[in-house]
Structure 1
Amino acid sequence: MSAPPPPMSGLIVRSEQPFNAEPPLPHLRAAFVTPQATFYVRSHGEVPRLDEAHHRLRVGGRVAQPLDLSMAELRQRFPHRTVPAVLQCAGNRRSDLHRVRPVSGDLWAPGAIGHAEWTGVPLAEVLRAAGAAPDEALHVAFSASDMVDMPGEESFRFGISIPMGKAMSGEVLLAFAINGEALTPEHGFPLRVVVPGFAGIRSAKWVTGITVQDEPADTPMQRKNYKLLPPDIAAPPFDWERGFTINEMPLTSAICEPEEQATLPAGPTLLRGYATASGRGVTRVDVSADGGRRWQQAELERRPGAPWSWTFWQTRLELSPGEHELVVRAWDSAGQTQPASPEEVWNAKGYLCASWHRVRVRAD
């Protein structure tokens, strides 16, 4: 059985086996770059314990020159790049949807997200070296070392894919480091994919193979999961053909401080949180102390020239004695904002909760 991250990480465990956990929200907001020890962990089976010296990456399918690379060859042959990027589970904030109607899956709060500086080899460089045609009708599939236990399915090896257009973009990495340090086993050591702007499921960990092919990956993980189902499908068995594949992540934001059900002194109160738009810029964040009737604009902290990074925000609101519903919403560079309520985005798998985030507090 796989071991969880060290206790010092202080993660909130959502599932022991497979191990899934997220940081408390104040920890998430403590640093613009999320330390690996407090980065959320999403597993679909037992965490593989791999030896970098013997790990190999094989590239095949619709390529002119198949590759079979050791980790040393991968590091030496291709240029390295560091990309600041958010990684976010498609089920982030699933607990908000569960309060509307029951959903399946781990009940994540808004902590199934993190922002790191990922270092590795651009996937596009490896695909070009293999002679892959940059045909956007193609797909790039990843196979990995972990085994997946999915209800209703026999155990199978993890496999997922992304469109060729995204794979050939320079920001997608075959990563071996996070924040300047080696990946831990829980985060994909010795090699993982990082696909900025896409749901975390596309960023395969413990990757061993890359296949260029005509169709998306033919695995239950690709074909029967991580699809956004319409709201009239409320319970299994799911008709996956009526859903669409989740790739890009929506505009979202969250309040990290204060926490839910906090008791605070009446008067000026500091609110802090994050917002992310997955490739578009976050241009404004509004915060309310009365459930969204009146709004105040927050101050933004962001990294220029880093389109896959997130935005931190903060503001002070005057809280009178009594109960308050704190609310946050973000706006992106296209003038888009978030839906007001989780009822508007409910789906049976609990994916893509991007409604206003609400936190209830009391001021004395």
Structure 2
Amino acid sequence: MTDSDQMGTWDKSAEMLVHQDEPYNAEAPPGALESRITPVDTFYARNHAPIPRIDSASWRLRVDGLVDRPLELSMDDLRRLPERTVVATLQCAGNRRADLVEIRDIPGQVPWGPGAISTAKWSGASLADVLAEAGVRPEAAHIAFIGADVSQRATPPQPFGGSLPLAKASSSEVLLAWAMNDQALPAAHGAPLRVIVPGWIGARSVKWLQRISAQSEPTDNYYQTEYSILPPEADPTAAGPGVGITLGPVGIHCAILRPGRNAHLASGPTEVSGFAFAGDDRTVARVDVSTDRGRTWTRADLDPPEHLWTWQHWRTTLTLPPGEAVLVARAWDSTAAVQAESPATVWNPRGYANNAAAHLRVTCHP
């Protein structure tokens, strides 16, 4: 039913910043991060196994567990449900890991820059509608997902999976998506069907979906607990379930896109711009930028949230003197949470959830 192909067939732009060919892991190029909607060919890709090819005609989605009516659904069955659309930003939990690696090495993990994040328009059926068809029983508290991609990192190897609390899974924004930016969902992004969980780490938006199960407890899938924050002293190869904090909603953070990293600029007025993302159902309330390592701050102009579940772009013009400068950007969300001052504060041995302020070194010439 499935096979894998080489990364060159996935219709991705040559501008993608590729970290691994197999499994294919690549971040969006900086220019793609400046648009409200990311083109499909520059949308970031995070995979733990070869990308499967699935025959959508013979594919079926199984819905089981603590339900009154177990289901086996074809794509035609799903398309009979009301089609819903959500514009949402997805972000890998390891986004901006490279900043943490500069503090202390994190072996065995992809050294993502700021581009493991992208935004698309997703269309499909509401997960809540599918769960209503199945009739979730009162004792169910979590909804688990299994994809078709089999990872060798788990022992023994197992398909990628994850779960959500029932309250989030039943929310209107959570989709079973078959379309991306008004075109059929590509194989590289989970065709024929994937979960879209706005506001949560990308690992919960399981691709190549095969099974949905209602459960009383979270899934025991390897990747449910692998995506967790461990204490700095923990050994990630030996940490068992319960040692870390399992990740869900994305924390407030931002990135500087212009000027580029280690840029050489003319001194004087310089436009500084980037994006910020609050995660969950929060919005970005403010972005501040500093040219003197945080002694003084300038408030940036911030785009209003066009959609609840997406990033927001910001920009400001700063006067930079000749010499080296370190630009720092920090964001605040609608709950008044603010980014940590330094990546050292949030370092962890898996390199997840870096929501420290963004730092960028530039050199200005007279």
TM range, smaller chain: over 0.9
Compute the displacement of 1:334 (Å).
1.4
1:130 corresponds to which of 123, 134, 141: 134
User: Structure 1, residues 128-174: CA drift from partner, whole Å, max 9, x if none?
Assistant: 11111466x611011111111216x2221222111111000000000
What residue number does 2:189 align with? 187
Secondary structure in 1 aligned to 2:316?
A: strand
Change (3 A) 1:134 1:86: farther
User: Residues of 1 paired with 2:221 and 2:186: CA distance?
Assistant: 26
Cα separation, 2, equivalents of 1:261 and 1:26: 17
Structure 1 residue 61 corresponds to structure 2 residue 68: no
Confirm whether residue 23 of structure 1 aligns to residue 24 of structure 2: no
Unaligned runs of 5+ in 1: none
Deviation of the 1:303 alpha carbon = 3.3
User: Does the CA-based 8 Å contact 1:134-1:168 persist in structure 2?
Assistant: no
SS at match of 1:49: strand
* Structure 2: unaligned runs, 5 residues or longer: none
Structure 1 equivalent of residue 90 of structure 2: 87
CA distance in 1, matches of 2:290, 2:208: 42
RMSD: 1.5
Cα distance change of structure 1 residues 235 and 57 upon mapping to structure 2, 3 Å threshold: closer
Distance 1:267 1:149 in 2: 52
Which shifted more, 226-235 or 47-56? Answer: 226-235
Confirm or deny: 8 A CA contact 1:89 1:200 kept in the other structure: yes
Alignment of 1:115-126 (within 5 A): 115-126=119-130
Does residue 1:359 correspond to 2:360, yes or no?
yes
Paired residues of 1:229 and 1:240 also in contact (CA < 8 A): no
Deviation at 1:73, TM superposition (A): 1.2
Q: Which moved more, 1:176-185 or 1:198-207?
A: 176-185
Mark the CA change 1:270 to 1:217 in structure 2 (over 3 Å): closer, same or farther.
same
CA deviations on 1:230-251 (whole Å, 9 max, x unpaired) are 1121553224421121011100
**Quick one: structure 1 residues 45 and 19, their matched pair in 2 at CA, closer, same or farther if it must change by over 3 Å?**
same
Counterpart residue number, 1:52: 56
User: What is the SS of the residue equivalent to 1:72?
Assistant: helix
Return closer, same or farther for 1:272/1:200 CA change in 2, 3 Å cut-off. Answer: same
Instruction: Give per-residue Cα distances to partners, 1:240-280, cap 9 Å, x unaligned.
Output: 42112101110010001111111111111111110011121
Between the aligned partners of 1:319 and 1:330, the Cα distance in structure 2 is 21
SS where residue 241 of structure 1 aligns?
Answer: coil
Name the structure 2 match of 1:161. Answer: 163
Change (3 A) 1:7 1:48: closer
Structure-1 separation of matches of 2:185 and 2:134: 26
Matches within 5 A, 1:104-115: 104=107, 105-115=109-119
Which residue does the alignment assign to 2:245?
A: 244
Pairwise CA distance, 1:302: 2.9
Distance in 1 (alpha carbons) for counterparts of 2:235 and 2:259: 33
Distance in 1, Cα, partners of 2:321 & 2:14? 35
Q: Secondary structure of 2:13's partner?
A: helix
Q: Is the 8 A contact 2:103 2:344 kept in 1?
A: yes
TM-score between both structures, scaled by the size of structure 2: 0.94
Contact 1:302/1:310, CA 8 A, preserved across alignment: no
Alignment-mate amino acid for residue 195 of structure 2: V
1:213 counterpart letter in structure 2: Q
Which segments of structure 1 move beyond 4 Å, counting only runs of 4 or more? Answer: none
Shift of the alpha carbon at 1:356?
Answer: 0.5
Q: Which of 8, 13, 24 is the aligned partner of 1:8?
A: 13
Check conservation: 2:286, 2:300, Cα contact below 8 A: yes
Q: Deviations over 1:268-304 (max 9, x none)?
A: 1111110011121211100112222221111111334
Return the alpha-carbon distance in structure 1 between the equivalents of residues 236 and 48 of structure 2. Answer: 21
Name the TM-score, length of structure 1 as normaliser: 0.95
2:204 aligned with 1:202: yes
SS of equivalent to 1:26: helix
Give the 3-state SS of the residue equivalent to 2:53 in structure 1: coil
Aligned pairs for 1:193-342 within 5 A: 193-223=195-225, 225-234=226-235, 236-278=237-279, 279-304=281-306, 306-342=307-343
Q: Matched residue of 1:54: which SS?
A: coil
- Supply the AA of the counterpart residue of 1:16: D
Question: Structure 1 residues 335-344 or 229-238, which shifts more?
Answer: 229-238
Q: Distance in 2 between matches of 1:333 and 1:261?
A: 32
Which range moves more in the overlay, 282-291 or 105-114?
A: 282-291
| Contact 1:227 1:240 (C-alpha < 8 Å) held by counterparts | no
Q: Distance in 1 between the 2:220 and 2:235 partners?
A: 25
Code of the aligned partner of 1:145: A
43-52 or 234-243, larger mean C-alpha shift: 234-243
Contact 1:91 1:351 in 2 (8 A): yes
TM-superposed CA distance for 1:71, in Å, is 0.4
- Equivalent pairs counted in the alignment come to 358
Distance, in Å, in 2 between the alignment partners of 1:314 and 1:134 is 48
Amino acid at match of 1:17: E
